[in-house]
Structure 1
Amino acid sequence: MTSSIKIHGFPLSGHSHRVELFANLANIPYEAIVVDLPNGAHKKEPFLSLNPFGQVPVIEDGDIVLSDSNAILVYLAKKYAPNWLPEDPEGAAAVQRFLSLAAGQISYGPASARLITVFGAGLDAGRAHAVASWAFDRLEAHLAGRNWLAADEPTIADVAVYTYTAHAPEGNVDLSGYPNIRAWLSRVEGLPGFVGMKKTKVGLAV
């Protein structure tokens, strides 16, 4: 185990949270470094030397620098917590399916809806809500009779999808009609080492 990992992120970023959440769940020591997004620190040096795309999170693990939250989850699981990422082809593919969901419909649905209400992003709220409904309808059906998304135990798939699903109400996306999703969220929150993301009031701009 290492004590050298640095996680550059922002407290209200769901992408940052999923990386810190996994580090806590997998008992991976790290140092959290807050990037001053409101003042544009992610769009100038020295941050751009870490990630030219100007996005959080970024991790430093010795000489290794990685960006993209899902890529970071894969790296951390492969290196420090392999029980969170199945090695068999079917299991690995099942996890990848939900990493794609997290980067696709979850990002363009509930995450985008939250960007509008929390950060004042100029996005299409109607489209974001429609995508969120599409994704959650299918996630609800998938979770019928299942405890976890991709395996019989939690994997990085659950970590990748958790944060923006749990915080969907901040984007005015109602979860009351999704009992399977809400039960799954509770199971994630009951895992040893769980840490939540800071909640905001709807309409707060930062």
Structure 2
Amino acid sequence: MKLHDVALSGNCYKVRLFLGLIGQKAELVPVDLMGGAHKRPAFLAINPRGQVPALEDGELRLGDSHAILVYLALRYAEPHWNPQDAVTQGRIANWLSFSANEVQHGLAQTRVIQLFKRPGDLPAAQAKGRHALELLDATLADHRWLAQTDEPSIADIAVYPYVALASEGGLEPSGYPYVQDWLGRIRALPGYIAQPAF
């Protein structure tokens, strides 16, 4: 198994973190984004969307961090990571969407603007990020895990990275006590790996 990876990418970190939590080994293949490697034919043959992360597992070529989490959970992980009952599947899908929308356009965007000096509307992104943290805090006030299960699921792993990295975008999750407790629960999981510092 190979994971085409960028060390500082929160989306790549989702996959690395999940691999650690489920004890699954993968060869990390660094992708030179600044050099445009993700837009060259060799990489596009793996992920035609030209984005990281991308996974190769046997004949499978798969892009998108959430798609990779779903695949790894079903193929290699214990059932609690992606329970197949309709209610839990609906809840997980909701949080994967939240990760791709509210988190990506808020918390992740603030980090890209602040840390990597990319253009963007920082106040608007920070407002979206604060709203995402408020929604998370409200859910976690009543539930230990996002899918309202007894154990963590891929919903938690999908949302975790950019919340944990929120301070790099000028937002501080410490003002959200239930979010803080949840971050601590994830960090305490066996096999947890930290995101490298910038």
TM normalised by structure 1 equals 0.92
Matched letter for residue 90 of structure 1: V
Count of equivalent residues = 196
Match among 25, 30, 33 for residue 34 of structure 1: 30
Measure the CA separation in 2 of the matches of 1:173 and 1:155.
25
Q: Please tell me whether the aligned partners of residues 4 and 28 of structure 2 are also in contact (alpha carbons under 8 angstroms).
A: yes
Summarize the alignment of residues 142-181 of structure 1 with structure 2, pairs less than 5 Å apart. Answer: 142-150=139-147, 151-181=149-179
The question of 1:138 aligning with 2:123 is answered: no
Q: State the Cα distance separating 1:130 from its structure 2 match.
A: 0.9
Which residue of 2 is the match for residue 94 of structure 1?
91
Measure the CA separation in 2 of the matches of 1:138 and 1:171.
18
Q: Please tell me whether the aligned partners of residues 39 and 50 of structure 2 are also in contact (alpha carbons under 8 angstroms).
A: yes
Q: Please tell me whether the aligned partners of residues 80 and 151 of structure 2 are also in contact (alpha carbons under 8 angstroms).
A: no
Q: Name the stretch that deviates more: 46-55 or 133-142.
A: 46-55
Matched letter for residue 16 of structure 1: C
Query: What SS does structure 1 have at the residue aligned with 2:28?
Result: strand
Gaps of 5+ in 1: 201-206
Write the deviation string for residues 156-180 of structure 1: whole angstroms up to 9, x where unpaired. 0000000000001000012121011
Measure the CA separation in 1 of the matches of 2:19 and 2:174.
29
Summarize the alignment of residues 43-122 of structure 1 with structure 2, pairs less than 5 Å apart. Answer: 43-81=39-77, 82-122=79-119
Matched letter for residue 185 of structure 1: L
Measure the CA separation in 1 of the matches of 2:122 and 2:30.
28
Q: Please tell me whether the aligned partners of residues 111 and 166 of structure 2 are also in contact (alpha carbons under 8 angstroms).
A: yes
Measure the CA separation in 2 of the matches of 1:102 and 1:80.
22
TM normalised by structure 2 equals 0.96
Matched letter for residue 127 of structure 1: A
Query: What SS does structure 2 have at the residue aligned with 1:50?
Result: coil
Write the deviation string for residues 143-197 of structure 1: whole angstroms up to 9, x where unpaired. 0032111112100000000000000100001212101101100110000000011
Q: State the Cα distance separating 1:38 from its structure 2 match.
A: 2.1
Which residue of 2 is the match for residue 192 of structure 1?
190
Matched letter for residue 197 of structure 2: K
Q: Give the CA RMSD over aligned residues.
A: 0.9
Matched letter for residue 183 of structure 1: D
Q: State the Cα distance separating 1:83 from its structure 2 match.
A: 2.6
User: 4+ runs of 1 displaced by more than 3 Å?
Assistant: none
Matched letter for residue 169 of structure 1: S
Measure the CA separation in 2 of the matches of 1:146 and 1:93.
16
The question of 1:19 aligning with 2:15 is answered: yes
Query: What SS does structure 2 have at the residue aligned with 1:54?
Result: coil
